[in-house]
Amino acid sequence: MTTVAVLVDPSPARNPLAECVDADALSESEARALYAAMARDVCRAVEASGGELLVNYAPEAADGEASADDSSAAEDAARDLVTEGLSAPSDARFEVQVGSSHAARVGNTVTHLLEREGVQSAAVVEPTAAMLERRHVDSAAMKLRGSAVVLGPSSRGRVWYAAFREPIDFTDAFEPPALRTLTDRARDGGYEVDFVERLPLVERPADLAGFVAELGARQRAEKWVPPHTAAAVEDIGLGAVADDGDLRVVRD
């Protein structure tokens, strides 16, 4: 069984979709609502899979250090963020991230799970990978039987998923392009690398426009869509139109 850590940031002081806000694609409140919806759908997909869900939440302090009170508040915020999406909220495991950078926090989580807890494999998933389905998690678990590292590609060299049977050198391991950097670190460590299906990450204005277009197409074709995310997009009233060969977000 793979323990899958969903890397959520519940802090009201930070906005994971800040680039969309800066580009006026979303307001602050809309960005937070959309992020929460995506995190709920991603956590639900992991919960429904053959993996074990770990909600790995960022601390209040930006440097990764936190007091006991801060950690408690951050956990409460993480529970508020994702619980609505879970079928069995009481079974979900919540743990704070430790580290001063994204790579350090991922490395600490993965290494702790593999070496201290002795899990067979450990994975991290971005909560902005809203199109995640349980089959993606289960497919990755199958690939981990043959490869020590399995990565999920996204646009611009990013990764939506990274799983490990053995720790690698995580120092700056997510430097762009993260897909190549992580692959290099794994191969330098002597490990086989495999890849799972490409999925979009919704973090930037271009990501959002492409995602909204795909969501609308899937709805029109009567195919599966992430329910909380689709509802949030509808509530905000987002659409996507072509603009000189590019897509941009509009309000329906």
pLDDT (tens digit, 9 = 90+) per residue, 181-205? 999 999 999 999 999 999 999 999 9
What pLDDT is recorded for position 62? 59
What pLDDT is recorded for position 99? 94
What pLDDT is recorded for position 70? 59
143/194 Cα distance (integer angstroms): 7
CA proximity to 155, closest of 109, 205, 102, 225: 205
Residues 6+ apart with CB under 8 A from 98: 59, 64, 104, 105, 108, 109
- Look at the chain and count its residues: 252
Low-confidence ranges of the chain (pLDDT < 70): 62-71
What pLDDT is recorded for position 41? 98
For residue 121, count CB atoms less than 10 angstroms from its CB and return exposed for 0-12, middle for 13-18, buried for 19 or more.
buried
177/78 Cα distance (integer angstroms): 29
What pLDDT is recorded for position 244? 82
Please state whether the peptide bond connecting residue 127 to the residue before it is cis, i.e. omega within 30 degrees of 0: no
What pLDDT is recorded for position 206? 95
Give strand ranges (E) for 46-153.
Answer: 52-57, 93-96, 121-125, 149-153
Query: Which contacts of 21-24 are long-range, i.e. CB under 8 A and separated by 24 or more positions?
Result: 23/205
- Helix segments in 118-177, DSSP class H: 134-143
